[in-house]
Structure 1
Amino acid sequence: MRQKKLAADSLLKTMHSTPFLIADSGSTKTDWVAINPGSDMIRFQSAGINPFYQTAGEIIPVLENEVLPHLGDDIDSIFFYGAGCADEKSGRPVYDALKHCITSARIVETASDMLGAARGLCGHEPGLACILGTGANNAFYDGKNIVHSIGSLGFWLGDEGSGSYLGKTLVVHYLQNELPAALHQSFAAEYPEINRLSVLEHAYKKPYPNRYFASFSTFISDNIELPFINDLVREAFQIFIKKYICKHKDPEKYPVHFTGSVAYYYQDILKAALQKSDLKPGRILKSPLEGLVQYYL
């Protein structure tokens, strides 16, 4: 079976009669929902799946240990939206791993997490859809498909406003002694293992540097009321808005929707930044999965 671009019509043909599976995956976690017509939906999470960082052989254990225990043996179709699945070639490791592990599936389709976010956030209406989780992305969606995107350059060259960007910015401030004294002491007490060499090792030698830096979002969240941290988040959102949203044609005419944990937990700061740029805040969801289910149902 050849891998196909994710299409709404193929899902609509199968969903009312046979069990199917939808996934929304980022680099840190994957949200899944298994739908068996006539019975309840099963929702669960697994580790993130990203073919940019993982081979099929590395994805298979995640599926075997964290996904298969939640499923029956009758899944007919799988519709996977994921980071790193920009096209057929890039999404191939995910496709191969799913076909290997869920042998009952006649249809396995992959598409970008951006398309999943757009459909989950906008439904069948046009709008600007954005992701602010571990990574960052954006697109203008016409109610059916993505028609324009300001390409993300990933963790090392972009992802402004994301959890990995916020964590990286915080750690750099710490290592360069730029945090206020009390905040510096608090960070050092919570992360006594952090020093220049350990950070460089995680950044350049160990896998998933984006996840590593995004893990510092917990400290940011715990200290969000402090002016330095609040300004750090606000400035990151302003950069995201300027570099991405404002480069779309007439962005003020459409609602600007967001999904992802960073957007969700810091939505008050995000909404204020949007309004300062004369933009209309839209839906802000932790995950687009619920919207995806509604989109197809």
Structure 2
Amino acid sequence: MILIADSGSSKTDWRLIGSDASIQQVKTIGFNPYYQDSASIADELKLHLLPKINEPITEIYYYGTGITNLEKSQVLIDAFNSVFRECPKAYVHNDMLGAARALAGHHTGIVCILGTGSNSCFYDGEQIAHQIPPLGFWLGDEGSGGYLGKQLVLSYLHKELPTELREKFEKRYGAKDRLEILDNAYHKPFPNRYFASFSKFLFDNRQHPFIYRLVFEAFTAFFEKYLLKYPAIHQCKIHFTGSVAFYYSDILRQVANSKACTVGIIAETPIAGLTLYHQQTN
């Protein structure tokens, strides 16, 4: 059985390809080696993944956020080794390569992730050939769910939201004070998840001119700070994956058109493409 995973900060999509070519889907929480150690990841796998597996695992292909160097990838490898002791092959890659393989396959293209966080790369059909490095939640993540939520909360705190939106916001979340938001931003874990949780409000109200402009400007910032710096930006297609890209695809396409860029595939998650990629490779 082959185990394939696409893991973001919020959730992990798993596909189990059986020896009879059957495909099983499983979901667990997201993993990030910057915030979790091997033991805690292994505990989650034993609790929510292992009970769904009914034959030996022969290969593992894991693509996830936070896999920035060998040290971070080893955190996941150690977790897999403790849970699937008989598995001879466990490959851990960053989520950017996973998105590239899922969306572009063996073709050249620019590939982007717009989910809880944001990222991008130029993919040459085999590997990531060039990347404008992302700066994370506090210094970057333009266009992501975390960034969108942060912009919404800032507008709320600065009393910039139109009255009707402010009333809707407080009806949905209750009145928010500065100290509560600062506590979630600086003291509690996963501030990106906290702020990304507000992006659903933006989606539900995206027809409002204020919200539309906020989202349009967030995607524009993503293009200007990252995508437009790729030399091949106007010569190849730009593919996107992630919940933000998928659910705001209409606005995303409008921003791309305004920059004379060609959008290719927009997929909510890369897991289906990754499953096909590894079925064809193995």
TM-score, L = length of structure 1: 0.92
Q: 2-side partners of 1:279 and 1:151: how far apart?
A: 20
SS at match of 2:176: coil
**1:294 Cα shift?**
1.8
Counterpart mapping for 1:180-199 below 5 A: 180-192=162-174, 194-199=176-181
Residue number in structure 1 paired with 2:42:
60
Residue number in structure 2 paired with 1:77:
59
SS at match of 1:34: strand
TM-score, L = length of structure 2: 0.96
Counterpart mapping for 1:87-166 below 5 A: 87-166=69-148
Does residue 203 (structure 1) correspond to residue 185 (structure 2)? The answer is yes
**1:241 Cα shift?**
0.5
Cα deviations across residues 52-106 of structure 1 (Å, max 9, x unaligned)? 1211122122212221122124011111000011222122211111111122211
Q: 1-side partners of 2:52 and 2:199: how far apart?
A: 29
Percent identity reads 46
Q: Calculate the aligned-residue CA RMSD, in Å.
A: 1.0
Greater CA drift, 169-178 or 102-111? 102-111
Q: 1-side partners of 2:19 and 2:226: how far apart?
A: 40
Aligned length: 279
User: Which consecutive aligned stretches of 4+ in structure 1 deviate over 6 angstroms post-superposition?
Assistant: none
Does residue 29 (structure 1) correspond to residue 5 (structure 2)? The answer is no
SS at match of 2:169: helix
Does residue 290 (structure 1) correspond to residue 272 (structure 2)? The answer is yes
| Structure 1: segments with no counterpart, 5+ residues | 1-18
Residue number in structure 2 paired with 1:177:
159
| Conserved 8 A contact 1:23-1:80 | yes
| From 205, 220, 223, the counterpart of 1:241 | 223
**Which residue identity lines up with residue 243 of structure 2 in the other structure?**
S
Q: 2-side partners of 1:59 and 1:194: how far apart?
A: 33
Cα deviations across residues 238-274 of structure 1 (Å, max 9, x unaligned)? 0001111100013100000000000000001001100
Residue number in structure 2 paired with 1:214:
196
